[in-house]
């Protein structure tokens, strides 16, 4: 089993009202100096078997056709390596 992470973000030129709402709340919470916030989506895919090039290509296809709408969103695909000496 391996985990592949797909991160999806609105393209920079697309207005992100959710991110703006979060950003505007920051001074009220005492967090200064943050000039912009954008909110995205993270998908964690648990993959059976090895994540070889073929599996990655399939996931890339999945991200491009379904998880992200490339008219408005960019995405990245990465394999999440288990941390060395990680507990649990």
List of residues contacting another protein (CB under 8 A) = 10, 14-15, 17-18, 21, 66-67, 69, 71-72
CB of 69 to another protein, least distance (A): 6
| DSSP 8-state class, residue 28 | G
Cβ distance to another protein smaller for residue 15 or 83: 15
Cβ distance to another protein smaller for residue 9 or 10: 10
Q: Is the dihedral of CA 48, 53, 58, 64 positive or negative?
A: positive
Helix (H, G, I), strand (E, B) or coil at 55: helix
CB of 63 to another protein, least distance (A): 12
| DSSP 8-state class, residue 29 | G
CB of 50 to another protein, least distance (A): 27
CA atoms of 24 and 44, how far apart (whole Å): 29
Cβ distance to another protein smaller for residue 10 or 51: 10
């Amino acid at each position: 089993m391996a985990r592949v992470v797909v991160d999806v973000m609105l393209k920079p030129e697309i207005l992100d009202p959710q991110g703006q709402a979060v950003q505007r709340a920051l001074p009220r919470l005492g967090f200064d100096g943050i000039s912009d916030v954008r909110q995205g989506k993270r998908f964690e895919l648990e993959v059976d078997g090895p994540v070889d090039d073929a599996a990655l290509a399939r996931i890339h296809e999945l991200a491009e056709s379904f998880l992200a709408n490339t008219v408005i969103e960019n995405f990245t695909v990465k394999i999440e390596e288990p941390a060395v000496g990680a507990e649990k």
